[in-house]
Amino acid sequence: MESLELIRDRILSALPQAQLEIVPNGSANNPASLRVDAAHALAVAQFLRDDPALRLDYASNVTGIDCPDVVKPEKVKITREYQGQSIEVEETVQTKIPGYFEVVYHLYSMALKHGPLVLRQRTGNRSDQIEVASLTPIYRGAEFQEREVYDLFGVRFQGHRDLRRLLMWEGFQDFPMRKDYVEPDDYEYEPTPHNEVLDKTRRHYPPEVNHG
Amino acid sequence: MLGSGIIKGLLETARNFFGSFRQPERLVTIEYPEQQRTVPENNRSFPFLVFDRNDPVKGLRCVSCKICEKECPPQCIYIETEKDSRGKPIKHPKVFDIDISVCMSCQICVEVCPFDSIKMDQTYELSQFSRYDALILHKIDLAKSNEYYHQIKPTEAGLVDEQLAAEREAQIAKAKAAAAIKVAPATASPTPKPPSPAPPAKTEVPA
Amino acid sequence: MVDFASANEPVVSPLEMPTGFHFTPSSEGTVGEGLLEVSMGPQHPSTHGVFRMDLVLDGETVVRLKPVFGYLHRNHEKIAETITYLASIPYTDRLDYFCSLTNNWAYVLAVEKLAGITPPERAEYIRVIAAELTRLQNHACMMGFLTQDLGAMGTPLMYAFREREKILDLVEALTGARMMCNYFRFGGCRTDLPAGWLEQTRQVVAHFPHFLDEFESLLITNEILMARTQGVGVLPRELAINASATGPVLRGSGVDYDLRKVDHYGIYDRFEFRVPLGDHGDCYDRFMIRLLEMRESIKILNAALKDVPEGPVMDPKIKIRNFKPKSGEAYGRIEGPKGELGFYLISDGSTNPYRYRIRPPSLINLTALEDMCIGQKIADVVVILGSIDIVLGEVDR
């Protein structure tokens, strides 16, 4: 497959409005990825699928990533009026870098047997701008996986014909794969930490029976 | 021909039925509670703690380093370190519990143990009447002798013993070398110090 | 035709109803036309686990089908984010519990890609042997289950299980467990081969073609099997690609895409084998693909068992504890018995993965289930589902 820079340039020559960015990969022997804006994602995907040299006709893996808000403490010098004098005070200001969700598509070509091309879409933030474009009109195979991303991360896919929860039940409120998800108290899960099991045992049996 | 499939199938069944009287390999099942299956040496069910010197309390190889507790994927191990009279922790577990209702027999505790003290057992008839209490194995239930370990896994236990013996020898040799280095300058120096006693082995070596 | 859905029936959401048969007017068909909504599963014996299909039937013909997942959901991906790279390996066993060795391999491959590890030669051979043994037993069982779905109660399945048992004995001797193997490690394998294992494996592999001959002579020309599977559940080639079907389902539709040939992961480029392809994309083709794939697996096994090299099975430089790959991301995939099993890992340089994603072949192969089933009879839905070969541990994760 041609290099990612070349692919980007070719997409740009076909779709000049598309905003593309190459995201480097920290791991050296793994491919970098191409980030595309949600407005042009569908057109870019169509280009990638139909271009005779690429023919990326197979969306292998679709998944979401949660990057929470980062709060960076920063020391700033501020002059304050104090008893008629102006003093320079050092204060810590919390700057908030808004987080985002990313949806990652691994595209391969079954016709030409190459790949992957890693395509990414990013949401505006984690609260109200959580929409990206669904690629299901191009790749049917993304249907369940996009539903799963919606289910577990709460990313909304514009243009998905059947965007319902996939693994959790309808009526479930939260999005479990988000980094800030807190599980409810009455929720029994495995792995259960050992001392919690012991506590349960002690509640369950009188202490004289329990030799722990 | 219609029905040939049924005849073929019945012939196959008959071949197996009558063949099983002559060829024992056609009998693929065993009468379980009466006949027991011999398990291969690698077979694993749940962990146990190895002890030496016929002493299930003092002889435990476990030094309560808590690596297995940290690495256990389902968090089913619980360890408390023993403390001496002055409250200083000593290298021995006071509590060592494994909740085998949570344990998934993955053997990761065995792999990460640097002291070869936790190993996998092969017992599999473990049903109990209570869900919580009886399935939590305490230190005393878990402690099993090195001879038992040799009995269930002869090859592996032999290798472990060799390795432990080699480590012990290396430690003794190291201690001797350290003693020699300490002694050598003392004899060479013009003002001889009182000869220091041979330094003790660095750590208590499990016998 | 009995019109069950009378107009006076109150409209109730399927979730508020107990499992079983319930009647709600569907969005497309109307009550007056006599459409019947059937909830098949999650306790239905033919759904291979706790899987549910909401079917809308016109008489016996399927008009609409919506799969419902999640009954076995345990959020494996979230658990894996809270534990170390090593500790995730036993959890991968529990995805597709028929093929824990290939699951291990897929995960280990992703970690090795992420950290740039090359396992030793001997470990690569062991991996190929273990994976092909897994493929043999998975396909044998799948064929048994499919014939069970067709109504051949028990007997072919038990024959398949008899053979599977021999392979499970080998797996147990090698890894210590019959199904939850937890055997591969990034950088090699956990233990070396036990004494005499290769010889035992050779015997089992040498016997396996006899079983296949027997199975073939019993089944593939059987009229019932042919009548129930030929022309049923046709998955066209274009749809198979577009719906990301993989594995035998894809190759049954005639697409030549086998990751062992495409990606050359492991040492598969050293072995000669062919990729069987189907012509029609129906259930019979998918059934036969498995049979032929087993023959090819035996070829690979025979070649691999011949020249297992001596040497270490584990890269001594890799410490599995406190394993911290550099930050970055990797997607590793292998040709599992059910299809492309991929693991997508993102590392932030700590001991736990930042993101851990499984690409489950069973789930994604179900994308085209509705298209395969529409227009078929409800009894064929069971066969079509059986021919896809799903395991719910992997679908729901």
Question: Residues C81-111: pLDDT tens digits?
Answer: 888 888 889 999 888 888 889 999 999 999 9
Query: Based on the domain organization, do C134 and C219 belong to the same domain?
Result: yes
Contact state of B136 with A195 under an 8 Å Cβ cutoff: no
Identify whether C129 is part of a domain: yes
Query: Based on the domain organization, do C54 and C122 belong to the same domain?
Result: no
Angle between helices C155-175 and C197-219 (to 10 degrees): 170
Residue that terminates a domain, selected from C22, C47, C68: C68
Query: Based on the domain organization, do C84 and C131 belong to the same domain?
Result: yes
Identify whether C2 is part of a domain: no
Q: Please compute the mean of the pLDDT values over residues A154-164 and round it to a whole number.
A: 86
Query: Based on the domain organization, do C134 and C172 belong to the same domain?
Result: yes
Tokens 């988000």 correspond to A178
Antiparallel, parallel or unpaired: β C188-189 and C184-185: antiparallel
From A65, A106, A140, residue closest to C243, measured CB to CB:
A140
C114 touches chain A (CB under 8 A): yes
Beta-carbon contacts below 8 Å between A and C: 113
Query: Based on the domain organization, do C31 and C84 belong to the same domain?
Result: no
Measured distance CA(C152)–CA(C222) in Å, rounded: 11
Percentages of chain B per state (helix, strand, coil), in multiples of 5: 40, 15, 45
Pair C275, C242: CB distance under 8 Å: no
pTM of the model as a whole:
0.84
Give the minimum alpha-carbon distance from C89 to chain B in angstroms, rounded to a whole number: 9
Beta bridge partners of A77: A90
Query: Based on the domain organization, do C125 and C54 belong to the same domain?
Result: no
Instruction: Determine what percent of chain C is predicted with pLDDT higher than 70.
Output: 92
| Number of separate domains in chain C | 2
pLDDT in tens, A68-122: 888 877 777 777 777 777 877 777 778 888 888 989 999 998 888 887 888 889 8
Query: Based on the domain organization, do C52 and C167 belong to the same domain?
Result: no
Residue that terminates a domain, selected from C68, C101, C131: C68
- Of residues A38 and A209, more confidently modeled: A38
ipTM of the assembly? Answer: 0.82
| CATH code, domain carrying C192 | 1.10.645.10
Pair C111, C183: CB distance under 8 Å: no
Identify whether C53 is part of a domain: yes
Query: Based on the domain organization, do C112 and C48 belong to the same domain?
Result: no
Query: Based on the domain organization, do C63 and C80 belong to the same domain?
Result: no
Contact state of B78 with A210 under an 8 Å Cβ cutoff: no
Q: Please compute the mean of the pLDDT values over residues A2-15 and round it to a whole number.
A: 86
| For residue A32, pLDDT beyond 60 | yes
Neighbours of B78 (CB within 10 A): 22
C325 touches chain A (CB under 8 A): yes
Neighbours of C394 (CB within 10 A): 27
Angle between helices C378-388 and C121-149 (to 10 degrees): 170
| For residue C33, pLDDT beyond 70 | no
Q: What is the dihedral of CA C206, C210, C213, C219, to 10 degrees?
A: -120
From A29, A61, A113, residue closest to C116, measured CB to CB:
A29
- What pLDDT shows up at residue A205? 56
Quick one: pLDDT band at residue C6, thresholds 50, 70, 90? very low
Architecture of domain B47-152: 2-Layer Sandwich (3.30)
Identify whether C349 is part of a domain: yes
| For residue C28, pLDDT beyond 70 | no
- What pLDDT shows up at residue C4? 37
Greatest pairwise CA separation for chain A in angstroms: 79
Q: Please compute the mean of the pLDDT values over residues C56-77 and round it to a whole number.
A: 86
- What pLDDT shows up at residue B13? 84
Question: Out of A65-69, A90-94, C336-340, C371-375, which region has the weakest mean confidence (pLDDT)?
Answer: A90-94
Domain extents for chain B?
47-152, 163-204
From C79, C355, C396, residue closest to A65, measured CB to CB:
C355
Question: Which residues span the domain enclosing C181?
Answer: 76-396
Partners of residue B13 in chain C, C-beta under 8 Å: 155
Antiparallel, parallel or unpaired: β B77-83 and A58-67: unpaired
Query: Based on the domain organization, do C120 and C41 belong to the same domain?
Result: no
- Please compute Rg for chain A using Cα positions: 24
Neighbours of chain A (3+ CB pairs under 8 A): B, C
Measured distance CA(C392)–CA(C387) in Å, rounded: 14
Beta-carbon contacts below 8 Å between B and C: 73
Measured distance CA(C50)–CA(B160) in Å, rounded: 44
Question: Out of B124-138, C205-219, C260-274, which region has the weakest mean confidence (pLDDT)?
Answer: B124-138
**The dihedral sign for the CA sequence B171, B175, B180, B185:** positive
Query: Based on the domain organization, do C199 and C319 belong to the same domain?
Result: yes
Query: Based on the domain organization, do C29 and C91 belong to the same domain?
Result: no
pLDDT in tens, B88-143: 888 888 888 888 888 888 888 888 888 888 888 888 888 888 776 778 888 888 88
Measured distance CA(C228)–CA(C152) in Å, rounded: 12
Partners of residue B40 in chain C, C-beta under 8 Å: 169, 172-173, 176, 194
Q: What is the mean pLDDT of each run of 10 residues along chain B (207 residues)?
A: 77 86 83 86 88 82 86 86 84 85 87 88 84 80 86 85 86 86 60 48 45
Residue that terminates a domain, selected from C68, C90, C113: C68
Partners of residue A189 in chain B, C-beta under 8 Å: none
C320: Cα within 13 Å, side-chain hemisphere: 25
